[in-house]
Amino acid sequence: MSNIVLEAENLCKFWGGLKALDEFSIKFYDKQIHSIVGPNGAGKSTLLNLLSGAYQATHGVIIYNGKPITSAKSYEFCRSGIGRSFQKTNIFHTQTCLENCCIAAQQQIGGSFKFFQNRNQNKFIIKAALSALEKVGLTERAKTKASQISYGEQRQLEIAMVLATNPKVILLDEPMAGMGHEESQTIVKLLMTLKSQYCIVLVEHDMEAVFELSDLMTVMVDGQHLITDSVDNIRSNPLVQDAYLGNDDEVF
């Protein structure tokens, strides 16, 4: 088994009295897709927000490459290699697709404090951005404004932006939300190819895609860890059937 990249131990997030995440522990391995499923309100997004540094944990530890990063600032997560996409499309609508990826790439490549150099003079940034666009198949959309591409393409751009930050870990928050079957398949294919290079954490409601893609699956209920296992074992686990899968027809 490959090595552990990202790890959470006894992670808690309380909103006042509400326990969004309670004593949650999990390990993510390199070059795998690890899906997290569970009913609405199970705390999946909270977990992702904690892992990406958007929220501060109430207590518990996040370990990245063997070092605790729990108390790091939210922007430091991305810098150290934890990239994320958002559930609701979160891109720079007024900029071109290429520029969107340039913004993402520039943080890693540098130059943000160059006040007098034209932003397009740094070839490394453009190159990194173009390669990210190419990976998701948006090359011909490079010069198009982000607000003018289709919804599916925007979701792809969202992932391209994460890739442009040159991450080790990619946290994807429902990348297929609101997509038709065909569009979803594009993403599935994309994730398949990415799997060989990154540690991918996937939160997704599209169970078909999840079962197709995942190496490992974690089921969450009410902010708590229910089970983590391979796809096949999860499918046949009666506990999961009872607690979650069997009772909720909507999901399937």
Partner 1 sequence: MSIFTNKSEKLFIFFFFAIGLVIPLFLADNVFYINKISSMIIIAIFVMSLDYLVGRSGLITLGHAMFYGIGGYIFTIIAPEYETVNFWIYTFYVMSISAFVALIVGFIVLRTSGIYMIMITLALSQMCFYYFADSVDYGGFDGLFIYIKPETSIFGFNFLDLNNESHFYYLCLLSLFNCFVFFKVLMKSSFGRVIDALKENPERATALGYNIFHFRLIAYVIASSLAAYAGYLFALQYGFVNPSMMSWEVSATALVMALLGGLGSIYGAILGAFAYEGLHYVLEHVTQYWMFFMGCLIILMVLTLKNGLSGLLSNLVGDKENE
- Nearer to partner 1 by Cβ, of 171 and 191: the residue is 171
* CA dist., res. 110 & res. 142, Å (int): 21
Closer residue to partner 1, CB minimum distance, 78 or 202:
78
Q: How far is the CB of 40 from partner 1 (least distance, A)?
A: 22
Sign (positive/negative) of CA torsion 229, 213, 160, 180? negative
> In angstroms, what is the minimal distance from the CB of 53 to partner 1?
8
Least CB distance to partner 1 at residue 54 (A): 7
Binding footprint of partner 1 on the chain (CB under 8 A): 52, 54, 73-79, 84, 86, 90-95, 99, 102-104, 106-108, 111-120, 122, 125, 145, 161, 165
Strand partners, 213: none
CB of 119 or CB of 195, closer to partner 1: 119
Q: What's the CA gap between 212 and 227, in Å, rounded?
A: 19
| Nearest CB to partner 1, comparing residues 165 and 184 | 165
Q: Considering the complex, what minimum distance in angstroms separates the CB of residue 117 from partner 1? A: 6
**Least gap, CB of 200 to partner 1 (angstroms):** 17
Q: How far is CA 228 from CA 66, 115, 196, 215, in A?
A: 21, 49, 21, 11
* Bridge partners (DSSP) listed for residue 120: none
State the Cα–Cα distance between residues 106 and 104, nearest whole angstrom.
6
Token pair belonging to 180: 């038709």
Of 125 and 243, nearer to partner 1 (C-beta) is: 125
Q: Any bridge partners for residue 19, and if so which?
A: 14
